Amino acid sequence: MLKGVISLSISIFFMSISSTSFAGDTGYIARSKLMQNIRLEFSVLARMSRERIEFDESLAESTRLNLLKLAASTPVIFKDDDLPINSEALPAIWENWDDFVSKSADLEFALEGVDTSTLADLRGSLGNVGATCGSCHQKYRMK
């Protein structure tokens, strides 16, 4: 009986691990979700810098850190070159993989340089981030 309970809880444990770490998403779906999350987090900083929402140093800093994690996962998630008809990704990504990875690193670098101490600092440093989104999209995303 006890053995049965233990093995049941072990299998539930493994089931919950696989559902969180793989989340079932691969290829285009995973890419699309990643980019939507990046947009969501970025829009918090953008709206704060335009005073559409109130400046909050701790929210700004946690958002910046979330964005850094998302940016770091970009090359991992984009490795899968699944290209369904609704994807906006260009095959050039996988033909110029090192350049794509370096554009992703540019986003991380720009995020490292974002200063969330004050509204003025945020305003002064956020522009560089937006530029890196545009630079990658221009080359690797359909318009």
Residues that bind ligand HEC (CB under 6 A): 28, 31-32, 35-36, 38-39, 42, 74, 87-89, 93, 100, 103-104, 107, 129, 132-133, 136-137, 140-141
Q: How far is CA 131 from CA 25, 106, 110, in A?
A: 28, 10, 9
Distance CA 107, CA 113 (A): 10
Q: Is 42 exposed, middle or buried (0-12, 13-18, 19+ CB in 10 A)?
A: buried
Q: Quick one: 93 or 122, whose CB is closer to ligand HEC? A: 93
Q: How far is the CB of 9 from ligand HEC (least distance, A)?
A: 38
Q: Quick one: 55 or 139, whose CB is closer to ligand HEC? A: 139
Q: How far is the CB of 39 from ligand HEC (least distance, A)?
A: 4
Report the interhelical angle of 57-78 vs 27-49 (nearest 10°).
160
Q: Quick one: 56 or 128, whose CB is closer to ligand HEC? A: 128
